[in-house]
Amino acid sequence: MNLLLPPEILEAQVENGYKKSTLPFYKTLLLGIMGGAFVGFGSQGSNMAKYMIDNAGLANVLSGTLFTTGLMMILIGGAELFTGNALIGISCLAGKSKWSSMFKNWGIVYFSNMIGTLIIVYIVYMSGQLNVSAGALGGYTIKVAAAKVELPFSAAFFSGILCNWLVCTAVWMAAAARDITGKIFSIFFPIWLFVLSGFEHCIANMYFIPAGILAATNEKYAEMAVTHYGVTEAAMENLTVGSCIVNNLIPVTLGNIIGGFFFVGCFYFAIYRKSSYPGA
């Protein structure tokens, strides 16, 4: 059989979680930066794909096909992603890894992912990509960011749960595949579904919102956001680092943790755990 069965996936996740939680600091940091950069590439491609499409459903279908590339690069090429690392909790539940090591990994990867996404934000801005269509892409980038910081806390939180339920399911399924083709298909459809559905991913938002904040400092992009995309002056003023953290990253991050750790990790551990696990 060319795939692992669910109990075997659980075994693989227990071992993988241990390896991740005991990885040296500098490797975790560098792999986290790469992971954030890969998500940043997927995010900017998503914006590029949909900025001129008025039909929201069609736009999300197209952008979702591109955004999946980010997780493919992470899982196949090798990198660390905070949302996927919610599954380290399986190793802790099994008694293989320490909870303190998991939280340390989460902290390092979360902030190194942020470094990676911000690197892509800056390089994309400096590349002039946002000038596409007389600055329309820059205006759209502002629109996306403004909408994200205006989400109610509860909406951002529950959308975060749904997002990482799908992301960690993609990671779980990819672990079952023994070849690259299987991994690609395992990743593609759950990630495509989360983007199509418009769910919130904290690391992707580390690209989308800072990109919008930076774009808003450019008069041409700001004018395009107002005149072409209907972004209000009040929404523009609300687009700040503070609103990014408080209105979006905090609730989305909490939701992502619950979606990945509880609804994927805890459920599968409860179903397929072995009596030999100290944590069982």
Closest-CA residue to 208 (of 124, 136, 105, 270): 124
- pLDDT score recorded for residue 279: 57
How many Cβ atoms sit within 10 Å of the Cβ of residue 194?
26
What CATH number is attached to the domain comprising 99?
1.20.1080.10
pLDDT over 70 (residue 276): no
- pLDDT score recorded for residue 57: 84
Decide: helix, strand or coil at residue 186. helix
Paired with 27 in beta bridges are none
In angstroms, how far is the first alpha carbon of the chain from the final one? Answer: 28
Please count the structural domains in the chain.
1
Strands (E), 29-176: none
- Would 225 be classed as within a structural domain? yes
- Would 1 be classed as within a structural domain? no
Q: Please give the residue range of the domain that contains residue 42.
A: 6-272
- Would 137 be classed as within a structural domain? yes
Backbone angles phi, psi at 3, to 5 degrees: -155, 160
- Would 280 be classed as within a structural domain? no
Give the count of alpha carbons within 13 A of 115, CB side only: 14
Q: Which residues of 18-39 are buried (b: 16+ CB within 10 A; e: fewer)?
A: bebbebeeeebbebbbbbbbbb
Q: What is the pLDDT of residues 225-248, one digit of tens each?
A: 999 999 999 999 999 999 999 999
Backbone angles phi, psi at 151, to 5 degrees: -65, 140
Q: What is the pLDDT of residues 65-108, one digit of tens each?
A: 999 999 999 999 999 999 999 999 999 999 999 999 999 999 99
- Would 279 be classed as within a structural domain? no
- Would 22 be classed as within a structural domain? yes
pLDDT over 80 (residue 209): yes
- pLDDT score recorded for residue 251: 98
Q: Which residue has the higher pLDDT, 59 or 204?
A: 204
- Would 238 be classed as within a structural domain? yes
Confidence of residue 56 (pLDDT cuts 50, 70, 90): confident
- What is the pLDDT averaged over residues 7-13? 96
- Would 158 be classed as within a structural domain? yes
